[in-house]
């Protein structure tokens, strides 16, 4: 077992407390929801961990480790919690091995009521400014040979602008399978009969766009194509979803939605993703109770952000692997 770096442990604890202070000072309620659940939100792109609960009476029941705290946090928001945040462990199976992945990791997730994804960009920038101020540091982070100037404002780049710059294509035209397939083949990528529209988009993005994002400044990449199934609200009158991701030196650190509040759209998402889950490695029951609660009580306008804390800590603690910012358990991170 790897030896713990106690100085890193202290610095990690300080950063977590500063993050808590930021949200508490702004009136967010800190919550602590379940990590082990009988049902989850279905997401076809994620694989989960299955375990078994054995009651004293001898009845076995499947249970699953959460890939994020979204499920229970959305229930709380629907039931009137107000703006909330949580720092907790999350678990994802079948992730690619490497310095940026661990099957067990720490998630910061927050939901802001009566806010959209643009307002959450502002909150993110304010969080970074808060951390640098309280740490008494210049707003520059390091990762390997990269230096990231986190002076405000961050670079905000639409997905359409990124595709135009790096692929010389109009993303508005890539709305059907044929157009995406042609663009993929023109970029030297293989198109298979099993590919879906979102698969082709991700092939293009991951090979030609993401690796070329600027590394010297934080990049907020926003307005993702609505053809990618998520629980983000569609941007009215456009082919985009109100969603962004934060990149530091090309590393994805955070993901944000203006949350979908229409129960019909949420039910469609659940139904389609549940079908995809049946084709994955580990099927799990979907939490239709969340859909029922939203139908009965409504989900207020809100924006949610999920941020991988170990990835953020890589930069603040100048480490080159997630194993370097975990107290223990790094053996499964590479």
Q: Please name which of 320, 204, 236, 301 lies closest in space to residue 262, comparing C-alpha atoms.
A: 301
At residue 334, the pLDDT reads 46
Which residues have CB under 8 Å from 195's CB, separation 6+? 177, 181, 203
At 297, list the tokens.
């009580």
At residue 249, the pLDDT reads 96
Distances (CA, A) of 153 to 68, 99, 144: 28, 28, 23
Q: In this structure, how many other beta carbons lie within 10 angstroms of the beta carbon of residue 148? A: 22
Q: Please name which of 256, 258, 303 lies closest in space to residue 112, comparing C-alpha atoms.
A: 303
Instruction: Give me the torsion for CA of 18, 24, 28, 29, rounded to 10°.
Output: 100
Q: In angstroms, rounded to a whole number, what is the distance separating the alpha carbons of residues 152 and 312?
A: 17
At residue 326, the pLDDT reads 83
Residue pLDDT tens, the chain, 334 long:
455 688 888 999 999 999 999 999 999 999 999 999 999 999 888 899 999 988 877 788 999 999 999 999 999 999 999 999 999 999 999 887 778 888 999 999 999 999 999 999 999 999 999 999 999 999 999 988 899 999 999 999 999 999 999 999 999 998 888 889 889 898 888 988 888 888 899 999 999 999 999 999 999 999 999 999 999 999 999 999 999 999 999 999 999 999 999 999 999 999 999 988 888 777 899 999 999 999 999 999 999 999 999 999 999 999 888 888 887 655 555 4
At residue 213, the pLDDT reads 96
Distance of CA 274 to the CA centre of its chain: 19
At residue 4, the pLDDT reads 62
At residue 330, the pLDDT reads 52
Cβ 189 vs Cβ 203: under 8 Å:
yes
CATH 3.30.390.50 fits 6-154+217-332, yes or no: no
The per-residue b/e assignment along 161-181, b for 16 or more CB within 10 angstroms, e otherwise, is ebbeebbebebeebeeeeebb
Which residues have CB under 8 Å from 3's CB, separation 6+? none
At 280, list the tokens.
């994955």
∠ CA 144-145-150, nearest 5°, is 85
| Cis bond upstream, residue 260 (ω within 30) | no
Strands (E), the chain: 29-30, 36-37, 49-54, 60-65, 84-91, 104-113, 140-143, 146-149, 155-158, 219-225, 240-248, 251-258, 302-308
pTM for the whole structure = 0.94
What are the structural domain ranges in the chain?
A: 6-154+217-332
Q: In angstroms, rounded to a whole number, what is the distance separating the alpha carbons of residues 318 and 18?
A: 18
Q: Please name which of 83, 78, 103, 81 lies closest in space to residue 93, comparing C-alpha atoms.
A: 103
At 67, list the tokens.
């890939």
Q: In angstroms, rounded to a whole number, what is the distance separating the alpha carbons of residues 81 and 283?
A: 31
Q: In this structure, how many other beta carbons lie within 10 angstroms of the beta carbon of residue 100? A: 19
104: three-class secondary structure by DSSP = strand
């Amino acid at each position: 077992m790897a030896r713990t770096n106690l100085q890193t442990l202290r610095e990690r604890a300080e950063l977590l407390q500063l993050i808590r202070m930021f949200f508490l000072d702004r009136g967010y309620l800190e919550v602590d929801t379940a990590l082990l659940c009988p049902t989850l939100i279905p997401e076809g792109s994620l694989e989960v961990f299955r375990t078994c609960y054995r009651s004293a009476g001898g009845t076995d029941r499947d249970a699953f480790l959460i890939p994020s705290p979204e499920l229970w946090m959305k229930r709380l928001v629907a039931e009137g919690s107000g703006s909330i945040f949580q720092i907790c462990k999350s678990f994802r199976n079948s992730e690619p091995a490497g310095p940026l992945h661990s099957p067990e990791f720490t998630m910061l997730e927050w939901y802001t009521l009566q806010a959209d994804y643009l307002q959450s960009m502002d909150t993110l920038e304010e969080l970074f400014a808060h951390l640098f101020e309280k740490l008494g540091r210049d707003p520059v982070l390091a990762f390997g040979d990269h230096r990231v100037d986190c002076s405000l404002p961050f670079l905000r780049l639409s997905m359409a602008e990124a595709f135009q710059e790096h692929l010389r294509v109009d993303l508005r035209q890539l709305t059907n399978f044929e157009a995406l397939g042609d663009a993929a083949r023109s970029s030297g990528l293989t198109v298979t009969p099993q590919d879906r529209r979102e698969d082709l988009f991700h092939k293009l993005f991951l090979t030609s766009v993401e690796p070329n994002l600027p590394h010297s400044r934080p990049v907020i990449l926003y307005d993702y194509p609505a053809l990618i199934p998520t629980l983000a609200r569609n941007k009215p009158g456009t082919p985009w979803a109100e969603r962004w991701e934060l990149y530091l030196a090309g590393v994805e650190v955070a993901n944000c939605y203006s949350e979908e509040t229409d129960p019909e759209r949420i039910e469609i998402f659940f139904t389609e993703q549940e079908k995809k889950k049946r084709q994955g490695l580990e099927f799990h029951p979907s939490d239709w109770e969340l859909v029922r609660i939203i139908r009965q009580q409504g989900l207020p306008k809100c924006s949610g952000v999920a941020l991988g804390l170990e990835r953020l800590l890589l930069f603040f603690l100048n480490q080159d692997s997630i194993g370097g910012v975990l107290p223990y358990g790094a053996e499964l991170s590479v």
